[in-house]
Amino acid sequence: MAESIQPLGRTSFGNPADAGNVMTETEALAFLEEWVPNEKLRLHMKQVGAVMKAWALEKEGLPEAEAHKWWLAGVLHDADWEKFPNDHCRVIVEELERRHIDPSVIQCIASHGPRHFGVEPQTTMDKMIYLFDELSGFIHAAALVRPQRYEGMDVKSVQKKLKTPAFAAQVSREDIQDALERSGQSLETIIPFIIQHQQQVQ
């Protein structure tokens, strides 16, 4: 993530009156196509969305409507990264506020990189997007260098890559550790979950 990104300078996002307002899946994917020309970046966002929704349903036991918010935050979290790298997060946050999207979704997006945006993850949804964003892309990169891609990938192979600073060097190991501690999760739990739920995403 670009070091020139400016902190958002605030910790409150969206309007409480907009609670429950979300984009449909069709609307969100159309938004993604419009805002993110880069196919690889779109895949990353869809993978984070898929893992977020799966976690909400399977681990948090949330109803479909709440899990959809997790998915939406994951799918849109980097929507302004390609076109507005130095204003990353600010642009998408303001756009979603203009569209009166549920504040929990906007808050989640705003907190997916606390070191960059200056917004501390508060809710479980916030903490998990921070963790999944860091590890999803890393695991996908690890899969791409394997002949069999995701098939047979396990915790040890990913951990070995994490201990190799030159591999996916742009991924901050410090952020991964920070996200693990904030969420109370372990690599042994998170890595297989991500592998299971993002490998089929197109």
pLDDT in tens, 38-78: 999 999 999 999 999 999 999 999 999 999 999 999 999 99
Are 14 and 97 spatial neighbours (Cβ–Cβ below 8 Å)?
yes
pLDDT at 187: 96
Is the per-residue pLDDT at 4 higher than 70?
no
pLDDT at 6: 81
Q: How confident is the model at residue 167 (pLDDT cuts 50, 70, 90)?
A: very high
Helices (H), ranges, the chain: 25-35, 39-58, 64-76, 90-98, 103-110, 114-117, 124-144, 155-162, 173-183, 187-198
Are 143 and 180 spatial neighbours (Cβ–Cβ below 8 Å)?
no
pTM of the predicted protein model: 0.95
pLDDT at 202: 83
- State the average pLDDT over residues 20-41: 96
Amino acid making up residue 8: L
CATH number of 17-198: 1.10.3210
pLDDT at 195: 96
- Between the alpha carbon of residue 40 and those of residues 1, 68, 166, 201, the distances in Å are 15, 22, 21, 12
pLDDT at 5: 75
Q: Report the C-alpha dihedral over residues 79, 144, 170, 173, rounded to 10 degrees.
A: 110
Q: Where are the domains of the chain?
A: 17-198
- State the average pLDDT over residues 136-148: 94
